[in-house]
Amino acid sequence: MNIAILGSGRGSNAEAILAAQAAGQLGRARVAAIFCDIPGARILALGPRFGVPAFQPDSGPFKTKFPPEIETVWANAIRAAGGDFIVLAGFMRVVKAPLLDAFAGRIINLHPSLLPAFAGLDGIGQAWRYGVKVAGCTVHYVNAEVDGGAIIDQAVVRREDADTPESFAEKIHAAEHRLLPDVIRRLSLAE
């Protein structure tokens, strides 16, 4: 299982995956490349640090989606880099047909809520504002519906009375960093 990690920001989940790989904890999976849609994003610096190629292809004029022709370019670039499985880790664009078709059943996403609750943007903030006592994160397959693919696994985080929005988010991010590499390991061993 040759993974292409797609991210848009600081890359903390990508770093967790790469650290798990360095520690021999990804099963038969290996990270083939990192792709980022934001120039200068911190995730791009992880490539050289972990000996993995990092790319920032043209993303087109929109901030939350790709034009179909650009998404086709990304699909081709991922294949050219050796990727045959995509992990969306903090990737802030909606994935459509060109990538979904090219990697059918081979794209997973990490979402910071217990789906189906609080889908879409700012899952942690949505959960905080709603006042839930239990939140967490979900790894799911990607399909045409935003955060609507089949759930693979979830990690639960309890909201304590002493939590602030920041401490609550930190606990969910820590759960993400454990869950995502573990799901990748299990999926690689099932192939």
Tokens linked to 86:
């995509």
pLDDT at 178: 98
pLDDT at 54: 97
**Which residues of the chain fall short of a pLDDT of 70?**
none
Would you call 140 a catalytic residue per the annotation?
no
CA distance 61 to 72: 15
pLDDT at 70: 94
pLDDT at 57: 94
pLDDT at 122: 95
Query: Edge-to-edge strand order for the sheet containing 134-141?
Result: 54-55, 30-36, 2-7, 85-88, 107-111, 134-141, 151-158
Q: Which residue in the list 111, 140, 173, 177 is annotated as catalytic?
A: 111
φ and ψ at 79, to 5 degrees? -60, -45
pLDDT at 191: 83
Q: What is the pTM of this model?
A: 0.96
Fold (topology level) of 2-190: Rossmann fold (3.40.50)
Tokens linked to 26:
């990804």
CA distance 56 to 36: 5
CA distance 180 to 143: 18
